[in-house]
Structure 1
Amino acid sequence: MITLVLVGIGTGNPEHLTLQAIRELNAADLILIPSKGTQKADLAELRHTICAQVVTNSATRMVTFDMPRRDATHPDYHKGVDNWHEAIAQIWQETITTHLTQHSQQDCIVALLVWGDPALYDSTLRIASRLSPPPRAVRSVPGIMSLNMLAAAHTIALNDIGAPFVVTTGRQLRDHGWPQGADTVVVMLDGECSFQQIDTKNVTIYWGAYVGMAEQILLSGPLEQVGQRIITTRADARAQHGWIMDIYLLRRQPSA
């Protein structure tokens, strides 16, 4: 019987961890750290760095496990994701069972560090529900979201006065265009620079990669002027680091 704690770590800057996050990590018996291969080795290293800075409990163990890859060629996107989540849950369970003694499994806390916040475009909570046997309890510790960091980095407000904004994905923007009912759109999980698929007239973009991290890159301006620069900069950054995390806000002049 375990308690599973999903700890939001924001964009990976140790200074952005909440006091609650630090307390939960220090209360954990086991912290699971995913490895996504050599190209993304610095992501695992960053998690280790965070733990080294904030975890003072010498009894807390940190264990790295190999993260399964999603089959991006699967003809059914949702089925492919479902299979991937099932494989991750199985790896979690195997790692927990291997690294906790039978005695300690009766009453222990297992923590995972989650980029951003576990509640926003992250599947950790859904994966946790697949564990068998299920945890005795699951706790979610909120983290600073990337859209908060993007707005802070560009010193802008996420919304206009009294106006809504929409948070969506690159896939949704490509497939369905500009969401109805809002003149401000925040786009996440976009590996294809999907802003290329919309009308750029009167649209301003605020783009950021590695937001809040030492590698942070920020670009902004009229989309029709800076769009290509963002595409080139993103490609160069991904080639340099082997991975990229980016997010952007699109704002168009409201209809008259």
Structure 2
Amino acid sequence: MYPGVCDEIENYAVHRNVTAQDHPAILRPFLPELAAFTRHNHDNVLQSVLRLLSLSLELPEDTLTKLHDFEAAGQSAISFIKYHPRGECDAPEGNNVWLKGHTDIGTVTILYSQPIGGLQILSKDNKWRWIKHIDNALVINVGDGIEYLSGGYYPATRHRVIQPPVDQRNIPRLGVFYFAMANDSVRLSPLDHSPLLQKKGIKKYFEANMVPTMEEWRRERTSRYGRSELKPSATEERVEEERIRGTVIKHFN
């Protein structure tokens, strides 16, 4: 995060195949319930979203679902995240930010709406806006994977997490997410057979010999997190940039 700012975030991720990893003893009795919950997110929510995205691109509705096979090698996961109230050790440069502006690495993120505020998205007018809580609702973000597969037609959601409003700042913020990724072997090149993209135009993010697979993109972005040298953007204020495989990744302060 920032120098002098305490790490006040806890995270536990569970691979979509819950038996693919070891778990603490306290969690093991709940693995059947977790497995059912993961399947629900993948089969009932994610696949529905992917079918809609495929149809919107004027492609067969199973185009994107076939790239997200539950049994294939991949790293889709349920994640439980707890944001603790800020402590006194935080330096002023933290600016009340828990997680600075970014895009998700995968294709689709499913977030169960939280009653404690914190999530904001960067709107087209370059202003950060709160995501309102709605009981029993889901927040759906698209990530890098969908942006690249759609040739830029669906840009990845730029979002951040900041401290809640003052009246909620003493309450821990609990989050439940399903971070979906395409199969490890899927190349993140545009679905250029889409009639819609052929009409609207296709943005290509990588040279032909540099297009990463989902696995390669995940590994490169995660291995660089907090280690890359970020350079101020020449065109946007409060934006830092890094290049991965020739394409620009933006970090929003």
Q: Larger Cα Rg: Structure 1 or Structure 2? A: 1
TM-score for both structures, normalised by structure 1: 0.27
